[in-house]
Amino acid sequence: MPAGNIEKLEYAVRYGADAVYLGVVDFSLRAMRKGELITFDNLKQAIEKAHSLGAKAYLTLNIFAFNKDIKHLEECMDIIKDSNPDGILVSDFGILGLVKKYMPEVDIHISTQTNILNYECVKFWQDMGASRVVLARELSIPEIAEIKNKVPDMEIECFIHGAQCVSFSGRCLLSDYFTKGERISNQGNCCQPCRWSYKLVEETRPGEYYEINEDAHGSHILSPNDLCLVHHLKEMIDAGVDSFKVEGRTKSLYYVSAVAKTYRAAIDELYENPNADMEKYFEELKKVGNRGYTTGFALGDGSGGYSYNLSKGLAGADFLFEFHGKEKINGWDLYLVKIKNKILPNDEIEIISPKEQFVTKILGIYDENGIELEVGNTNAEVYLKFEKEPEDFKYAMARTVGIKEYVS
């Protein structure tokens, strides 16, 4: 699972991840802006947190590096070595060389950015010292199986969920051009022009703009649907995939937690019952933000799938609040929460935690003095009384019940 900051790292693991991938500001393909960001100052702390929870932590150094990046990275290699990551993801040969020079014993994982599409390419990276490759999203499941069959002693990792780039394995320069080099996509700061709405102008008629339409849906012609392969986990396990990967280091704490919980449960059930129906897990995944789901290239049709009517992900359920504490006020057990979307007394909600998932009702909303409130507004911290309480609230969160109709 993705670990965009230290809090998300912990929640990802507690909700079911065996491993997390994390990046530092200058050398990762995601530029973080919220929460306790992972920097060279707290990198060791972040990795130790994952290890203390029984998970592995992989460091992403997968930018395409310029000279200045190589110089900066070499200055930081002692810090990286001391932080003790379980593996390092790379895509640049220069960075690969530095990692091998300063950390010859560390596991090297090859990023999906290198467009690995065939078994000879996997053999090449194996000869370069890699222990794992993250295959390109453009492969079908039979092609993945053939690669594993040809190179059985190489670990194979595949994306199974999350946002997709319109460009081949994410190798895109649109952001670079649109921002005149200020936001370079392959250095972690993409402005996502593929999600923008476009109009057409004909050169002999300057100033006259026309919509670029795809049927009646609009003009987001470059915006792919999100990947979701929960229905095909068994086929991918049978194909020999060693590690399933979820995109989303810039996604919310709720997204990371809910997706981790769903895939953890789905994978565990498949190992108990290989014929298990995955539809209930697909319904769960509709509750997190998405642009409509597609199986991408996994089934071999190569169609991908485009979100012509959505440029931003919409969630089938609204994230309502996080739990921050529990106190006894006026003789009641009340839970301190941070509200993300407005709530009202008597609202029916769904609470999820690493070990629970159930529907309950808000019986009352109170301030710190125990005075009842008529509403809990976004960003407020209030106390709540529930019809049914969570057994362990520390990492719990709440969302609306059911799935909104606009999620496909």
The pLDDT, as a whole number, for residue 196 is 73
For 332, the token pair is: 């009641």
What does each C-alpha distance from 322 to 11, 325, 333 come to in angstroms?
A: 12, 10, 17
Instruction: Convert the pLDDT of each residue in 217-235 to its tens digit.
Output: 455 567 788 999 999 999 9
The string of DSSP letters for 199-249 reads EEE-TTSTT-EEE--STTS-S-TT-BPEEE-GGGHHHHHHHT--EEEE--T
Contact 281, 264 (CB under 8 A): no
For the chain, which residues make up each domain, given as ranges? 6-171+223-294, 174-211, 319-400
Amino acid 339: pLDDT: 97
The Cβ of residue 378 has, within 10 Å, a number of other Cβ atoms equal to 12
Q: Could you give phi then psi for residue 399, rounded to 5 degrees? A: -145, 170
Domain covering 319-400: architecture: Beta Barrel (2.40)
- Sequence-separated contacts (24+) of 34-43 with Cβ below 8 Å: 34/4, 34/5, 35/4, 35/5, 35/6, 35/7, 35/8, 35/253, 36/5, 36/6, 36/7, 37/5, 38/3, 38/5, 38/6, 38/9, 40/76, 40/79, 40/80, 42/6, 43/79, 43/80, 43/83
Q: Quote the Cα angle for 124-149-128, to 5°.
A: 15
- CATH of the domain spanning 6-171+223-294, picked from 3.30.365.10, 3.10.50.40, 1.20.210.10, 3.20.20.70: 3.20.20.70
What local confidence, expressed as pLDDT, does residue 206 receive?
Answer: 78
Helix or strand (DSSP H, E) at 78: helix 67-83
Both tokens of 154, joined, read: 């190489």
At 149, which amino acid appears?
N
Task: Report residue 342 as tokens.
Answer: 């407005």
Q: What pLDDT score does 35 carry? A: 62
CB atoms within 10 A of CB 147: 26
pLDDT digit string (tens) for 165-189? Answer: 766 666 677 777 778 777 777 666 7
Round to whole Å and give the CA distance between 20 and 8.
10
The answer to whether residues 145 and 239 touch, using CB atoms and an 8 Å cutoff, is yes
The whole-chain average pLDDT of the chain stands at: 89
In eight-state DSSP terms, residue 229 is -
**Residue 204 confidence (pLDDT):** 78
| CA distance readout (Å), 212 to 34, 225, 304, 317, 404 | 35, 18, 20, 31, 28
pLDDT in tens, the chain (408 residues): 999 899 999 999 999 999 999 998 767 655 555 567 899 999 999 999 999 999 999 999 998 899 999 999 999 999 999 999 999 999 999 999 999 999 999 999 999 999 999 999 999 999 999 999 999 999 999 999 999 999 999 999 999 999 887 666 666 777 777 787 777 776 667 777 777 777 677 777 777 766 565 554 455 567 788 999 999 999 999 999 999 999 988 889 999 999 999 999 999 999 999 999 999 999 999 999 898 899 988 998 765 576 656 556 688 999 999 999 999 998 889 999 999 999 999 999 999 999 999 999 999 999 999 999 999 999 999 999 999 999 999 999 999 999 987 544
Token pair 């996509």 in the structure block, residue? 185
d(CA 85, CA 94): 19
The pTM of the full predicted model, rounded to 2 decimals, is 0.88
116: left (phi over 0), alpha (psi -120 to 50) or beta: beta
